Homo-oligomer: A and B are copies of this chain.
Amino acid sequence: MAPTTEALTAERILEATEEALRRHGPAKATVVDVARALGVSHGSVYRHFRTKAALREAVTKRWLDRTSQILAEIARPSSAPPPEALERWLSTLFTAKRHKAGDDPELFATYSVLLDEASAVVEEHVAELVDQLSDIIHRGVMEGDFMTVDGDSVATARAVFHATNRFHDPAYAHEWEKPGIEAEFSTVVTLVLRGLRRRID
Chain A interface size range: 20 to 34
Choose among B158, B191, B200 the residue that contacts A196 (Cβ–Cβ < 8 A). B191
Choose among B159, B160, B183, B199 the residue that contacts A201 (Cβ–Cβ < 8 A). B199
A165 to B159, CA, bound (A): 12
Known contacts: A163-B163, A188-B162, A192-B195. The answer to whether A155 contacts B183 by CB under 8 A is: yes
Chain A residues in the interface with B (C-beta under 8 A)? 149-150, 152, 155-156, 158-160, 162-166, 171, 183-184, 187-188, 190-197, 199-201
Q: Are B201's CB and A188's CB within 8 A?
A: no
**Do most interface residues of chain A lie in helix, strand or loop, or is the interface mixed?**
helix
Which residues does chain B contribute within 8 Å of A155, judged by CB atoms? Answer: 183-184, 187
Which residues does chain B contribute within 8 Å of A183, judged by CB atoms? Answer: 155
Distance to closest chain B CB from A177 (angstroms): 16
A118 to B192, CA, bound (A): 32
Which residues does chain B contribute within 8 Å of A194, judged by CB atoms? Answer: 149, 194-196, 199
Q: Are B150's CB and A162's CB within 8 A?
A: no
